[in-house]
């Protein structure tokens, strides 16, 4: 019985440690990937490669940056700084992009092609399921 109690305490401790609270704001994100184009990417929690497991990421979009892409999983995104611009379609479309200010929430289904950019430095935080892969239209586009 003592052994069972000890095992229960150890398991509870491991679960509690694995689920400890975490918080981020725009200034506390530790960027893990910084690309030559000025974009930055970080996995805040979870594993983007773990099938069926949720993860949360942050993406920094510098002023003037645009890309056209799609991803392998649904994305749920909140704009935390700046203003995100997004349009949907099979080509880069800056003119047709709608603006999403701080506090906006977007749901982008898997495999839906879209353009994304910003006129001011912008940070988004998103949640998705793994495995995650972003496919860019432009040659040599970075992968997240």
pLDDT tens digits, residue range 103-131?
999 999 999 999 999 999 999 999 999 99
* Domain extent at residue 57: 30-136
Q: What is the DSSP letter of 18?
A: H
In angstroms, the CA 103 to CA 105 distance is 7
Residue 4: pLDDT above 50?
no
Distances (CA, A) of 125 to 20, 23, 92, 140: 19, 12, 22, 24
How buried is residue 91: exposed, middle or buried, by Cβ count under 10 Å (0-12/13-18/19+)?
Answer: exposed
Residue 3: pLDDT above 60?
no
Cα distance from N-terminal residue to C-terminal residue, the chain: 49
Residue 96 counted as domain residue: yes
DSSP secondary structure letters along 49-78: TSBT-EEEEEEEE-TT-EEEEEESS-EEEE
Residue 7 has phi, psi (to 5 degrees) of -60, -45
Percent of all residues in the chain with a pLDDT value above 70, rounded to a whole number: 83
Residue 104 counted as domain residue: yes
pLDDT at 8: 40
Residue 8 counted as domain residue: no
Residue 34 counted as domain residue: yes
Provide the CATH number for the domain around residue 49.
Answer: 2.60.120.10
Residue 103 counted as domain residue: yes
Mean pLDDT of 90-101: 96
Residue 53 counted as domain residue: yes
Per the structure, the count of domains in the chain is 1
- Of the pLDDT bands very low, low, confident and very high (cuts 50, 70, 90), residue 142 is low
Residue 11 counted as domain residue: no
Q: pTM of this prediction?
A: 0.82
pLDDT at 2: 47
Residue 107 counted as domain residue: yes
pLDDT in tens, 59-84: 999 999 999 999 999 999 999 999 99
């Amino acid at each position: 019985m003592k052994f069972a109690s000890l095992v229960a305490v150890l398991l509870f401790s491991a679960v509690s440690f694995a689920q400890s609270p975490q918080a981020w704001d725009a200034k506390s994100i530790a960027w893990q990937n910084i690309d030559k184009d000025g974009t930055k990417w970080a996995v805040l929690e979870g594993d983007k490669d773990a099938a069926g497991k949720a993860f949360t990421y942050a993406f920094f979009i510098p002023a003037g940056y645009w890309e056209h892409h799609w991803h392998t999983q649904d994305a749920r995104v909140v704009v935390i700084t700046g203003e995100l611009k997004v349009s949907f379609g099979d080509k880069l479309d800056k003119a047709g992009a709608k603006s999403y200010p701080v506090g906006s929430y977007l749901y982008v289904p898997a495999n839906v092609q879209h353009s994304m950019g910003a006129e001011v430095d912008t940070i988004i935080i998103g949640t998705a399921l793994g495995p995650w892969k972003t496919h860019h239209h432009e040659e040599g586009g970075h992968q997240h």
